[in-house]
Amino acid sequence: MTLKGFRFAAVEAAIKKPGRRDLALVFSDTPAQVAAVFTTNKVQAAPVILSRERAKNGIARAVLVNSGNANACTGEQGMRDALSCGRRTAEALGLPDEELLIASTGVIGQPLPMERFKAGIQPLVDALDHGCLEDVAAAIMTTDTFAKLERRTGQAGGVSYQIEGVAKGAGMIQPNMATMLSFLVTDAAVEPTFLRKAFGEAIEASFNSITVDGDMSTNDTALIIANGAAGNLLIKEGTPEAAEFLSLLKEVTLSLARLIVKDGEGATKFVTVKVRGAHSLAEAKKTALSIANSLLVKTAFFGQDANWGRIIAAVGYAGVQVDQDRVEIRFDDVVMAKNGVFAGGSAEADGTEVLKRPEFTVTVDLHLGSAEAAVYTSDLSYDYVRINADYRT
C-alpha cells in the first residue's frame, strides 16, 4: 500500500561537512492537520520556538529539517536565520510561511552556514518528485548508526490508510522529549482534537519512556501530519476506527523509540525496566526511570554484573513509597531478590547469564499497589565516553 498525498526529498548542503545528505523536506500536496510535541528544556533552539508557535494553528503542509547544526543558543540571528530559511523554502513551494515547520539537530551554539543552507533549498524542492521517506530518515542522522523508519496500515470505513514515521536519536536521550526528531505522516482523515490527544498519548508511552543517558536537548521535536488523502470518513474519538488508529500510532512511535535506544551511543544492551505494584502510574514510572538512569546500574549491565544491589538502591532514592521488605527483583525470569533480600541459590550465576543477552528485562515489584510502567534503556559503555568526548570534532 502506498502513502497518498505526500512527497519527500533530501540533499547534501554540507551544513557541517560535505559527504552526506543533511537537508530534508516533508511535503503534503494539500493542507493537513498537524499535532506536535517539543522539548521541555527551558533552553530552546530557534526552530523549536518558531515551530511551536506555528503548530498552534493546527495546519501544516511541510517540514524543513537539517542535521549538523542545531541553530540553538544563537541569539536573535538564529531566529532570523530560521525565518529566512523557512521563507525561502515556503516561497519555492508556493506556501504561506505559517504552513511550514522547521526542525534542526546537531552542534549547539554555532550559527547556521546560511549560504550553504540557502543554496540547498531549490535543489531540495526540485528533488520532491523522486525522493522517498527513507531519504529523510538518512538525512536527519547525527551520531545515529542506522536510519529509523516504521510503517503501519489501517482501515477506516473500509478504506485503507498508512501511518509512516522516521526518527533520529542515539545520545542525549531522556524522557519529556529527548535529543530526537521524529516526523510521522498519515494519509488518514483524522478529527483534529483526537489527533492531538492520540499523538500525546502515543508520545507518553514511547518517546517519553526512553532514556540513554538521562540528558535532555534543546531541539527535540516530534510531530504528525494528517492530510486525509486516503479518502476515509473522518476518524473521530470514541469509535472503533479511533481505537485502531491509536493502536497503530502507538506501534509506530514505540517501535521508533525502541530503535533509538538500540542505537544508543556505544550501547551493547537493550534493557526494558518494568516496575509493578506501585501506588500510582507516576510512582511506577519515576521508579523505573531512577533505575534506568543510574550510571552504576547501566555500567553493571555493560559489565554483565548481576549486581541487583545497585537496582534496589535506585529504587530507594527514587522518591516514591517503598517498603524494602516487600521488593522483588527479577532479571527476565530469574528471581534475584525477594522480600528485599538476595534470593540465594543459583541466582547470581543465572542472573549473570541473563545479562549476557543483548536484550533482557529487569522487573521490580514493589508489592504496594496495582500500577505499573515500563521504561526502555541501554547500558553505558566505553564507547559512549569516546563518542561524546569527540562529538564536535
Cβ atoms 189, 32 nearer than 8 A: no
Residue ranges with strand state E in 242-282:
270-278
The verdict on whether residue 115 carries a ligand-binding annotation is: no
Number of other residues whose CB lies within 10 A of the CB of residue 79: 16
Cα dihedral 243, 244, 247, 250 sign = negative
Torsion, Cα 171 177 182 187, to 10 degrees, reads 160
* Identity of the residue numbered 57: N
The verdict on whether residue 363 carries a ligand-binding annotation is: no
Q: Give the whole-angstrom CA distance, residue 393 versus residue 387.
A: 10
Kindly report the backbone phi and psi dihedral angles of residue 119, in degrees, each rounded to the nearest multiple of 5, phi listed first.
-65, -25
Q: Give the whole-angstrom CA distance, residue 138 versus residue 187.
A: 22
Q: Give the whole-angstrom CA distance, residue 308 versus residue 344.
A: 12
Cα 392 to chain centroid, rounded: 22
The verdict on whether residue 393 carries a ligand-binding annotation is: yes
* Cα angle for residues 135, 136, 142 (degrees, 5° grid): 105
The verdict on whether residue 274 carries a ligand-binding annotation is: no
> Residues with catalytic annotation?
179
* Burial grade of 338 (CB within 10 A; 0-12, 13-18, 19 or more): middle
The verdict on whether residue 179 carries a ligand-binding annotation is: yes
Cα 359 to chain centroid, rounded: 19
The verdict on whether residue 168 carries a ligand-binding annotation is: yes
Binding residues for substrate: 142, 168, 179, 265, 388, 393
Binding residues: 142, 168, 179, 265, 388, 393
